[in-house]
Each structure stands twice: as structure tokens, then as C-alpha cells.
Structure 1
Amino acid sequence: MVWRTGLSARSLGYLVALIGFVVDQAFKLWMLFGFQIDAVMRFEGPVRITPFFDLVLVWNRGISYGLFQQDDDLGRYMLIGLAGIAAIALGIWIWKSHDKLTTLALGLIMGGALGNGLDRILHGAVVDLFHFHVGSFSWYIFNLADVWIVVGAALLVLESLFGGRKAGKLKKAPDSSRKDAANE
């Protein structure tokens, strides 16, 4: 299990960020240039994987759920800057944290932010590929970087609710002053 590795919490966070970033970018590059999802979409439409899941290609010029669409370079550069600031802040948080669950979660979020940020630099938009749908219900279209961000955020929420290792630190240590008083 991850927790028993010789990695420090800090190293775990940065390693997870790097792996998440590389996997996200490798998959996107394969979909764009290996599988050629753009050509497939033009000639055949979405690639049906299951009755409720398709591979598609959407260029997201906004943020989550397609909000704040940016059609000009200023908006694009602002979103790139925001991703960069978020990655730096997450990197500092990882550096300061000693809890492996926290750094794992932060590493996932950081890897996702870097992946989507690089998309904006290289392509002018985020490459979104996954589409879940059931009947007339359609979930938003997303990518692996988005998955890393959501899982990382969920882990942070769970840790804050259930305490992780911190819960053990809240237990009161035996009061040594009683022993001292009894021995006098």
C-alpha cells in the first residue's frame, strides 16, 4: 500500500502530480494524434464505448462545466495564469504538509491543473473527451485531469470530515501530573 512506502509525504504528493500530469497528457496526445478523434468525430460521430459512455472531442475554452468561455487571447492567458497560480499554491501546500493523504489529494489536484493548463498553452483550449449519458440526461464532458481534480478534492473533503491521522492526535494523553501528585 502507498502508505508503507519509503516516500515522504512531500515526495508522494509531487510524484502523484507528475504521474497524473503525464498520464493525462499522454492519453490526450494519443487520442488527438494516434486515434485521431477529430477525424473520427467528423466522419463517424461519437465513439460509443457502452450504451452510456462515449468518446468525443470538445475544445473547452472555459472552466468546469464550460463556464466562463474565453474566445480571446486575454481570457485564455488569464486562465493559464490561474492554473499556474493554483499549481504553485498546491506545490507550496504539498511542501508544508506532512500527511500522506493530504499530499496525495493535493498531488492529484496539482497534476490535473497542470494538465489542463498545458492544454490551454498548446491548443488554446482544454481537450475534453469523456461523455457519460443516460436517456436524456447528459453529464458534462471531461478528461482525466478533471478526474484527478475531482478525486483529489473529494479526498480533501473526506479527510476534513473524518480526520484521517489527525483524529488520533486529538486523543488526550494520560495526565502525568496525577502520577507525580500520587507519588509525592
Structure 2
Amino acid sequence: MRSVTRQGWAALGLAIFIVVADQLSKSWVLPLPERLPHEVFGPLQITRIWNNGVSFGLFQADSDLVRWGFVVFSLLVAVLLGVWAQRTERLFPAVGLGLVIGGAIGNAIDRARFGAVVDFIDVTRLGFFPWIFNIADSGITIGVIVLLLDSLRRETPA
């Protein structure tokens, strides 16, 4: 069996950081009243809501079967990306993989604990972004963008 690359360890470390930051931030906002915006600065507000869907409210989980299906799917994705991450040799895809893995695990923890995901980062006052999201959602979104950008990179001949 092949050992984990240095970039693989970086991906794992980033995933752990995202999970911890996500869960700590959610524990901080859980006591806040639901759907009551708290101004932070500029367009940023903290508004705690429950999200029964996946990222940005897509595909609602209206039953326990769907809820647990989302948990299993998220963890399966995290494991498969983890296998990919441990073999990656470049930092850019390792960062993307770590972000997605951490985000998937962070939201899976919420769904398993509460039946829904805690969302609270609210920039809806910008007018063009109607969703309230969390750190895990940000990790998934930014991680996918990083992986897509990396896929556009030209391979250099060996």
C-alpha cells in the first residue's frame, strides 16, 4: 500500500480545520433566535436558520430516509475524496479536496445530530445572493471551484 503524500496530509489537516471551524461556529449561533438577523458589518448579518436540503437549500430532505441518505452520501463522498487526497502530489488539488471533505463532514454531522443543517452567514442584503449558508457550505463551494480550476491546468510533459 502506498503511503500518504505530504499534500495528502495537508488535505486531511485542512479538512479537520474546516470541520472544527464549522462546528464551533454553529455552536456559537445555535442559542440565537431563529430567523432574527443580527447585523455584523456592511452586508454581513448572522441569521440562524435550519436547512433541510443540501448546499444552499437544494434537494430538500423531507423524510428521515432522505435525511440519512444525505448523511451516508456525504460521508461516502468524504471517504472517496480522502482516498484521492492521500495520493495527490500537488498542493492546489489537495486544498480543494480538503475543503470539500471538511464541508461534507461538517454538514453530515449537523444532519445526523439535528436532522437539518445549521446555516447562519447571511449576505442577502447584497441583493444578488439570496442564500444563507455556513462554513461547511463555503468549504464545499470553494473546494469545487479550486478543483475545477485545477482541471483546466495544462499538464507539462515529464
Residue 25 and residue 170 in structure 1: after superposition, are their counterparts in 2 closer, same or farther (change >3 A)? same
Residue 135 and residue 129 in structure 1: after superposition, are their counterparts in 2 closer, same or farther (change >3 A)? closer
The Cα shift of 1:162 comes to 3.1
Which of 24, 32, 37 does residue 32 from structure 2 map onto?
Answer: 37
- Aligned twin of 1:69: 60
Number of aligned residue pairs: 154
The runs of 4+ residues in structure 1 deviating greater than 6 Å are none
User: How high is the TM-score relative to the length of structure 1?
Assistant: 0.77
Equivalent residues in 2 for 1:11-160, closer than 5 Å: 11-32=9-30, 36-38=31-33, 41=34, 45-134=36-125, 136-160=127-151
Residue 11 and residue 134 in structure 1: after superposition, are their counterparts in 2 closer, same or farther (change >3 A)? same
The higher radius of gyration belongs to 1
Deviations 1:106-152 (A, max 9, x none): 01110000000000011110100011123654421100011111111
User: How high is the TM-score relative to the length of structure 2?
Assistant: 0.88
Which runs of 5 or more residues in structure 2 are unaligned? none
- The structure in which a higher percent of residues are helix is 1
Which runs of 5 or more residues in structure 1 are unaligned? 1-6, 172-184
Higher RCO structure (Cα 8 Å, ≥6 apart): 2
The Cα shift of 1:14 comes to 0.6
The Cα shift of 1:49 comes to 1.6
The Cα shift of 1:48 comes to 1.4
The Cα shift of 1:88 comes to 0.8
Q: Tell me, yes or no, if structure 1 residue 161 matches structure 2 residue 152.
A: yes
Work out whether residues 62 and 68 of structure 1, in 8 Å CA contact, stay in contact via their aligned partners in 2: yes
Work out whether residues 105 and 155 of structure 1, in 8 Å CA contact, stay in contact via their aligned partners in 2: yes
**Rounded Cα–Cα distance in structure 2 between residues aligned with 1:136 and 1:113:** 27
